[in-house]
Amino acid sequence: MTTTKLTGDEVRLRLYEQFARIGKAVSHPRRLELVELLAQGERSVEILANAANLTVANTSQHLQQLRSAGLVTSRKEGLRVYYRLANDSVGEMLEVMQRLADTTLAEVDRIVSAYRSLQEQMEPIGAAELLARLKDGKVTLLDVRPHEEYEAGHVPGAINIPLAELESRIHELDPKCEVVAYCRGYFCLLADDAVTRLRRNGLNARRLSSGFPKWKRSGMPVDTSTRKH
């Protein structure tokens, strides 16, 4: 059996065709949202659907598109199907896309600025400064993601009060201690909303400059024990 030898141009074209499969898979905003949710940890289709406000059927269709491009993997446990990112590079790809859009698409800056102009200045704190302040016991670290994301992994020392519960549980926080809130990433606005609500209730609050996925990929310490507060 003879094998047809490909020219350099043909090889390059075939490679670009494969690269384009990635672009096609993430060309839908809902799929990018699912990638961000899966960057927090493995989730079932039902939990993903609820988090993204989609039907289970629609969520499954989007996940199948991501899986066909090798971006996610799945496993079955009983009647449930669980998905996770194929590797950390998928989360890094989303972050690169976000940074690229932030620097090249004026509309991204307008959208974010219009939203954040309604909020107080968040005064983001970096990871190194946060670690130092945690070591000195000078800050309360608040994870405002949903419980299942917190349980899948979180910054050590963080307490979990999801944004939806914050208003009714603000009294649990020490008003004399600065609060640093974090969520899924820079463009996830859960932490922004949390900081705004905390400040309106008289607490000194800031947000972490990044989110948990970047924290984890950077080799920072991660905890999986439950400490919901």
Asked if residue 3 has pLDDT above 70, the reply is no
CA distance linking residue 162 with residue 62, whole number of Å: 26
Global pTM value: 0.80
Which residue(s) pair with 154 in the sheet?
223
From the list 48, 36, 50, 97, the residue with the least C-alpha distance to 74 is 48
For 39-43, 108-112, 125-129, which range has the lowest pLDDT when averaged over its residues? 108-112
Cβ–Cβ under 8 Å, residues 180 and 205: yes
CA distance linking residue 27 with residue 49, whole number of Å: 19
Q: Name the CATH architecture for the domain at 112-217.
A: 3-Layer(aba) Sandwich (3.40)
CA distance linking residue 120 with residue 139, whole number of Å: 19
Mean pLDDT of the chain: 90
Where along the chain do its domains lie? 8-91, 112-217
According to CATH, the topology of domain 8-91 is Arc Repressor Mutant, subunit A (1.10.10)
Selecting among 183, 194, 203, 205, the annotated active-site residue is 183
Residue 217 or 65, more confident: 65
For 24, phi then psi, to 5°, come to -65, -40
177 is catalytic: no
pLDDT of residue 227: 54
